Amino acid sequence: MRLSQTAYAKINLALHVRKAREDGYHELETLFAFVDAGDRLTARAAEQDRLTTVGEFATALDNPFDNIVMQALSALLRPDGLDVTLEKNLPVAAGLGGGSADAGAIFRMVREAYGLPDDWRERAAKLGADVPACVDSDMHIGLGAGEQRREVVNDMAGTPVLLVNPRKPVPTGPVFKAWDGKDRGPLPEGSAREIASNGRNDLRDPAIAVCPEIGEILAALGDTDPFMREMSGSGATCFALYETTKNRDRAAQTLAESNSGWWQMKGQLR
């Protein structure tokens, strides 16, 4: 048995931070979208669970037993162990839900090989509020701390997207600390494209205060003629959406030539 899954990069096409909750989190309203690229996981049956991490950002995950992939495996009972290789292509602490996407890929692997228990969403949510969303990896509105979902008309599937990161991790805590705490209102109504076009990311400015390179990336993306550009999550990855693949690829080449130190990934929205 050999299994393989892409851990699809998750981006927030809009992210509205609402009121604080008693548990310390904030109510969020976000439009989740997933790119058809990300980390890559392969697995085969083994006597016990094991994780090997390779790829550009593998060294950022120095403790395999603390990795969310191992936690996801422990959350799901199976007749066999899984020997998993994680190709870590996404930067860490980058606003792409990389760890949650990896866990989501594990859940899909187990579903393919053995099936999932009826309470899989509850098990996934214990690993992180957005892990259930990453199991589904489909565009939807996320509510609560990101664990609740509402359907949306996906009129953006296939849209060319370029992801760019300054290769600097930006933890969520300092960004929320820099946020002014103002509730600027709910997500707009409409289809995914309408919400993305009329929404906002409330964490963009505080993230730029923590990592000024985010502002530089957004400015550079704005010069490549996208129909939309924004920061994802709490940063530092930014994305730009284009009308054609040709425009996206031209933008990727331009940025690679002018800012060779920036990480980038091309794909399409799912």
The residues annotated as belonging to the active site are 10, 130
**Which token pair is 133?**
């969303």
User: Phi, psi at residue 60, to the nearest 5°?
Assistant: -75, -15
Reduce the DSSP state of residue 89 to 3 states and report it: coil
Question: End-to-end distance of the chain based on CA atoms, in angstroms?
Answer: 27
Task: In whole angstroms, give the CA distance from residue 158 to residue 161.
Answer: 9
Task: In whole angstroms, give the CA distance from residue 100 to residue 97.
Answer: 5
Task: In whole angstroms, give the CA distance from residue 20 to residue 224.
Answer: 37
Asked whether 210 and 175 are in contact (CB, 8 A), the reply is yes
Residue 264 makes CB contacts below 8 A (sequence gap 6+) with 162, 163, 164, 165, 252, 255, 256
Task: In whole angstroms, give the CA distance from residue 74 to residue 71.
Answer: 5
Asked whether 268 and 158 are in contact (CB, 8 A), the reply is yes
Q: In what order do the strands lie in the sheet with 228-231?
A: 228-231, 238-241, 160-165, 263-268
